[in-house]
Structure 1
Amino acid sequence: MSTGNAATLTGSRLPLKVLLIEDSAVIRESLSEALGSTGMLEVTGVAETADDAVRTLENDSFDAVIVDIQLRRGSGMDVLSYLHSKGMLEKLMAIVLTNYALATYRKRCQQLGVQHFFDKSLEFDRVIEVLDEFATGRQA
């Protein structure tokens, strides 16, 4: 009986796995550090292009993705469309963090099933708050 409790406690403390799809090294480093400092979240995958992101998603599983719209090659919208087509947006937390917080992008992301859409310059900290709440809810 105590073994089951120990396993439950140990399992509940595992950090949630986050895929960060972002081409800016500065943003990647800042987000990775902030998410890791919570103890409940860990960036376990990084992609700088849409193709790299899709390959990573095909080969590993994640609890959440943070997606930039403008990537060096390809678009975060391509990644979100892939996630939507595979039914993955129903299973994981999807957050868009972009400098291109245009109404057309926001609307399309909502249509695809993205839960949160944030402007990098104004709402950067909201990403950490939302993921922290998500992790707390998943571990409760």
Structure 2
Amino acid sequence: MSTENAATQTGTRAPLKVLLIEDSAVIRESLSEALGSSGMLEVTGVAETADDAVRTLENDSFDAVIVDIQLRRGSGMDVLSYLHSKGMLEKLMAIVLTNYALATYRKRCQQLGVRHFFDKSLEFDEVIRVLDDFANERRA
């Protein structure tokens, strides 16, 4: 029996699956801890590069992705373009969390279909709030 089926039969739902595309171990750990604390969300995939993110997205499904713009190799914009080209941004919650919250990036992300764009240094907690709201809506 799958985890989702078992959770449904016991009256609870499996947490929503989140892919975290971030090259900072500190940020990954902080987000994973914060998102997992509610029991409604779980970081089930992590990618540090654009290529790793695309491979992960090709092989698994997620309810939400958190994408950093600047990665060690490649760009979060490449990942978002991939998601857009595959029509995946219509089905999954996409959030950009970056230190490069420039108007040009924000505009391009909106054109691709990204729902939320946050500055890491100013709006870190907003990511958690938005995903908690998303999880509550999906459970209703």
How far off its partner does 1:11 sit?
A: 6.8
Moved over 2 A (4+): 1-12
How far off its partner does 1:13 sit?
A: 1.8
Aligned residues: 140
Unaligned residue ranges in structure 2 (runs of 5+): none
Secondary structure in structure 2 of the residue aligned to 1:12: coil
Give the TM-score taking structure 2 as reference length: 0.93
How far off its partner does 1:126 sit?
A: 0.2
Structure (1 or 2) with the larger CA radius of gyration: 1
Identical columns (%): 91
Between 1:64-73 and 1:8-17, the stretch displaced more is 8-17
Distance verdict in 2 for CA 1:2–1:97, change over 3 Å: closer
Would the aligned equivalents of 1:12 and 1:139 in 2 still touch at CA under 8 Å? no
Q: Distance in 2 between matches of 1:39 and 1:131?
A: 12
Distance verdict in 2 for CA 1:9–1:138, change over 3 Å: farther
Q: What does the per-residue CA deviation read over 1:34-65, in whole Å, with 9 as the maximum and x for residues that have no partner?
A: 00001000000000000000000000000000
Distance verdict in 2 for CA 1:69–1:11, change over 3 Å: farther
Distance verdict in 2 for CA 1:47–1:92, change over 3 Å: same
Give the TM-score taking structure 1 as reference length: 0.93
Q: What does the per-residue CA deviation read over 1:107-131, in whole Å, with 9 as the maximum and x for residues that have no partner?
A: 0000000000000000000000000
Distance verdict in 2 for CA 1:30–1:4, change over 3 Å: closer
Q: Distance in 2 between matches of 1:112 and 1:120?
A: 20
Would the aligned equivalents of 2:7 and 2:14 in 1 still touch at CA under 8 Å? no
Distance verdict in 2 for CA 1:139–1:70, change over 3 Å: same
